[in-house]
Amino acid sequence: MTRKLFGTDGVRGTANSYPMTAEMALKLGAASGRHFRRDGSNGHRVVIGKDTRLSGYMIETALTAGLTSTGMNVLLLGPVPTPAVGFLTRSMRADLGIMISASHNAHQDNGIKFFGPDGFKLSDDDEAAIEEMLESEISLAQPANIGRAKRIEDASGRYVEYAKTTLARGTQLNGLRIVLDCANGAAHRVAPQLLWELGADVIPIGTSPNGLNINLDCGSTYPRNCAAKVLETGADLGISLDGDADRVILIDERGQIADGDQIMALFARRWAEADRLHGGVLVATVMSNLGLEHFLQAHGLRMERTSVGDRYVVERMRQGGWNLGGEQSGHIVMTDYATTGDGLIAALQFLAAMVETGKPASILARNFEPVPQLLKNLRYAPGVDLLSKAEVQAAIVDGEARLNGRGRLLIRKSGTEPLVRVMAECEDEGLLSEVVNGIIAEMEAVA
């Protein structure tokens, strides 16, 4: 069955427009509840977390109604990071976990991400089964079997305590000054509390959500404010999370930004030296820089590339039995600790490296020289297939020919937004610009 609703990271769209309506959320709740309450008993439960978007109230309520209508008991976590939902789904022995978030997108977007009882995101088969159920009449529970809903007051605290266990016993962050940008999102309380409890001097920004300012000129997609604050305060490190805290970008004491590739390079080397990196493999996506691949090869390690999307990274990690992967955008997946990308735990591991080595962030966050890379996005109208246009195809063929043997070209549609992404890598930055801009110009001409 071809999936219509589910993209690379659950269901996503503009709030109060299909498919992000209260009606569809209610149906998704009922369908997912019926799918995971297979034996019809009343002992089944689902945990629901959310970020700080205004539309989260609407979607949370509708999902709860749909789930309880099929007999599922709902445990409401409130605003928590996405990885906390994965953790608490397992910890609380739930049959299903749901996170209401559109991650790094602006407030007008929202999404629904599903986690299975193992804490990992749903398989394609489960998503297809839920979609198929939406097209038929969903069997509801008898009146005496309708589910209950309960708010879990200490959900954030449970996650904080777990996150601390990912550090070696006795690890303290005393003496470290840290700028922490929470993107006015799901981690605006959890992250400052976690770092403070570990002894850090925390300078928080992006911790005043109002429902509309999530990811607005802040967070991992806009790290310049965090970088400026690091320089202003003389901080040792800047940590910039996204709206649901499943990704992180780091800023060293000089104000230089380190993306997910640099963070993964550090972890891969350190884990390999400690004989912790399973199979000597790091799983990354096609977007990761060639410089990272060359770095791994120089250390006798290997990169396994996947399609873009942390779910594909996790799937490949599980297939190969590997324990480290991620994306250039800042999703760092460490299956020793979490079932999905976890920006906070990744930041903790970086801080642990600073404490253990005594080296500044500027040394630890610069592991390789990136090959020049240029990425440009073009938004398209619904129903328009820019990549099928003859002029665009010709420009792509020409670009590939010009880069042949000198670099690489990657063109893809976003799985979460109506965007075409054009990315190329090449040591010749002039050629790089000509190829990317030429393809973008052709797409703009026919859009």
* Tens-level pLDDT at each residue, the chain (447 residues): 456 789 878 999 999 999 999 999 999 999 999 999 866 666 799 999 999 999 999 999 999 999 999 999 999 999 999 999 999 999 999 999 999 999 999 999 999 999 999 999 998 899 999 999 999 999 999 999 999 999 999 999 999 999 999 999 999 999 999 999 999 999 999 999 999 999 999 999 999 999 999 999 999 999 999 999 999 999 999 999 999 999 999 999 999 999 999 999 999 999 999 999 999 999 999 999 999 999 999 999 999 999 988 999 999 999 999 999 999 999 999 999 999 999 999 999 999 999 999 999 999 999 999 999 999 999 988 778 889 899 999 999 999 999 988 889 999 888 777 889 999 999 999 999 999 999 999 999 887
Q: What is the pLDDT of residue 315?
A: 95
Q: What is the pLDDT of residue 418?
A: 84
| Domain boundaries along the sequence of the chain | 11-153, 158-244, 258-364, 373-446
Domain spanning 158-244: which superfamily?
Alpha-D-Glucose-1,6-Bisphosphate, subunit A, domain 3 (3.40.120.10)
CATH 3.30.310.50 fits 373-446, yes or no: yes
Q: What is the DSSP letter of 282?
A: E
In the set 101, 103, 220, 329, the catalytic residue is 103
Domains 158-244 and 373-446 share a fold: no
**91 in catalytic set:** no
User: How high is the pLDDT of residue 43?
Assistant: 78
The CATH number, out of the four listed (3.40.630.30, 3.40.50.150, 3.40.50.850, 3.40.120.10), of the domain defined by the range 258-364: 3.40.120.10
Residue 1 is predicted with a pLDDT of 44
CATH classification number, 11-153, choose in 3.40.190.10, 3.40.120.10, 3.40.50.720, 3.40.50.880 = 3.40.120.10
